[in-house]
Structure 1
Amino acid sequence: MQIAIIGADERTPALKRCLMESGIGIIEITEQNIRRLMQSQIIVLPLRALEEDGRIRGSRVKIGMVLSYAAERSVIYGGCFPEVLTRRPSGRRIRLVDYMEDEVFRNENAGLTAEGCLVEAMTKSRCCVKGRNCLVAGFGYCGRAMAKLLLSLEAEVTVYDIKEDCQRVAMEMGCSLWQENAEEQNFEWIFYMADKPCPIDTVLKWCDEKTYLWDITTGGGLPAEELEEKGIHVEHLTAVPGRILTESAGIILARIIERGAADYGRV
């Protein structure tokens, strides 16, 4: 079986190597050979697939060209597809598969995000994890992975999340909870992983100028400029697995493709 790969990011070298070691052939698509898409039933794009102008990340090929030349019943893997694209009808039954909708991938990617953040934390602070007083804000996939990793290394972990089911899971894991009406408590490390922005009044209850804050949200959930004015620095970390753990990040993408190829009935 041959798989078409378009574009590239930090994960791509490991992704390609893993696929080839599994016996899957790869066609690298450019503007010059885009007609070769017709030879592949599976098309692989980067995790953050598209630039703002519609180009595939790391390529000059646009998504419109991909949809035009893709074979009937093709499966296109990528991430962060705009909603308008996922709703676009296709008479040739072309299917878009978002990596982030795969439960296994989301858990593995969250684990890599937590490990990458911890590397950053220890490097920046020059401190070990044991005994560190930490706050994890947001208790989704990445927040849970972060808390679990910190607990395993004997950190003191407090979780902030307004959802009751998340609070229950956090307590079952052995975390403390931070409540909206709580008194000020200066944490040493804060990992902000919530899916909504946080007001500065809340953040100021968590930290002082000695606190290390890492904002792991895509758009930035912490009011960084306002905090900087008060002497509190925020480090904005994005695409953590792809920047820090590129080998492992590429391998977990390859696993999705391998499963998809097997389900397609061609390997």
Structure 2
Amino acid sequence: MNKTFGVIGGDRRQAELARLLAEEGRTVWTSGVAGCPDLPAQAAAADVVILPLPLCREDGILNSETEDLPTSALFRRFSPGQLLLAGQVRPAQQIEAENCGLTLVDYFQREELTVANAAATAESALQIAMEHLDRTLLGMECLVLGFGRIGKLLAYRLHGLGAHVTVTARKPADLAWIRAYGWQALETGRLDGALCDFGAVFNTVPSPVLGHLLLAQLPKGCLCVELASVQGIDLAAAEELGLPHVWARSLPGRMVPAAAAVAIRDAVDYILKERGDPV
């Protein structure tokens, strides 16, 4: 018997995910998804319930554009026989689900999805930068803070557009890889005195990196693009210093929701196959 799917909460990528599943002939009900039919009872009773990425937009509140719903109340709508899938599940929500006897799987822990999400974020970050710059990236000195998945892919794309790329990292091995790619390498904790030439800075590090003292060393007009969910660039200080800046969070859901939905659909299918469930 084919599984039924409930898509609950989220942003445009959840709406695209519901559409994609329906186009594939699957039975899908939606709730709390902007632009989709609101069928909370049917969605909550589905065999597989797909919750947002991230699961919460603030502590204990479901990430939804249509309602403010505590996850503790949401989980009480489900039964132990269902499979719940969500992205970036916090420990508190995992405990809430376990206390209700529920199986909650974090699909964002799958490498294939995190890589696809990083690629979408990197590409979208370039679009954001181009929209806010009055110059081309060709020949521009660009700084990427952090050498994780997003940092690697963003640096690669900037290089492909002809930018002069500098990347920061903390680990000696990462610094070696940055140099091996042909980019300039800086230690993340040793940026003082090395910031005077950049036209754009992209942060991927979810902890403080550029405060007021370091931001003051950037040229006037340097664009600061914050990509982390927790600010690594002090955007209030950037505002005070007159630096152009943008906090570009949740870019896949905002900029490329259809591609983001495909990545989530694929991750869901992999999880079901690994569990021996029909897709």
Query: Please, what TM-score do these two structures have when normalized by structure 2?
Result: 0.84
Equivalences for residues 1-267 of structure 1 within 5 A: 1-29=3-31, 34-36=40-42, 39-52=45-58, 54-55=61-62, 57-60=64-67, 62-88=70-96, 90=98, 94-179=102-187, 180=190, 183-184=193-194, 185-198=196-209, 199-205=211-217, 207-264=218-275, 265-267=277-279
Number of residue pairs matched by the alignment: 265
What displacement does 1:110 show?
A: 0.6
Matching residue's letter, 2:25? G
What displacement does 1:72 show?
A: 2.5
Matching residue's letter, 2:161? L
* Rounded Cα–Cα distance in structure 2 between residues aligned with 1:229 and 1:69: 47
What displacement does 1:209 show?
A: 0.9
Query: Please, what TM-score do these two structures have when normalized by structure 1?
Result: 0.87
Q: Indicate the SS of the match to 2:12.
A: coil
Native 8 Å contact 1:56 1:62 kept in 2: no
What displacement does 1:91 show?
A: 7.1
* Rounded Cα–Cα distance in structure 2 between residues aligned with 1:204 and 1:56: 35
* Rounded Cα–Cα distance in structure 1 between residues aligned with 2:74 and 2:237: 43
- In terms of mean alpha carbon deviation, does 42-51 or 115-124 score higher? 42-51
Structure 2 CA distance for partners of 1:40 and 1:257, relative to 1, 3 Å:
same
Structure 2 spans left out of the alignment, 5+ residues: 33-37
* Rounded Cα–Cα distance in structure 2 between residues aligned with 1:122 and 1:221: 21
Identity of counterpart residues, as a percentage? 21
Structure 2 CA distance for partners of 1:37 and 1:250, relative to 1, 3 Å:
closer
* Rounded Cα–Cα distance in structure 1 between residues aligned with 2:220 and 2:139: 20
Structure 2 CA distance for partners of 1:120 and 1:266, relative to 1, 3 Å:
same
Matching residue's letter, 1:204? A
Native 8 Å contact 1:192 1:215 kept in 2: yes
What displacement does 1:189 show?
A: 1.2
* Rounded Cα–Cα distance in structure 1 between residues aligned with 2:208 and 2:99: 40
* Rounded Cα–Cα distance in structure 2 between residues aligned with 1:13 and 1:85: 23
Q: Indicate the SS of the match to 1:178.
A: strand
What displacement does 1:200 show?
A: 2.9
* Rounded Cα–Cα distance in structure 1 between residues aligned with 2:233 and 2:192: 19
- In terms of mean alpha carbon deviation, does 153-162 or 57-66 score higher? 57-66
Q: Indicate the SS of the match to 2:56.
A: coil
Matching residue's letter, 1:149? R
Q: Indicate the SS of the match to 1:201.
A: helix
Structure 2 CA distance for partners of 1:68 and 1:224, relative to 1, 3 Å:
closer
* Superposition CA RMSD, Å: 2.5
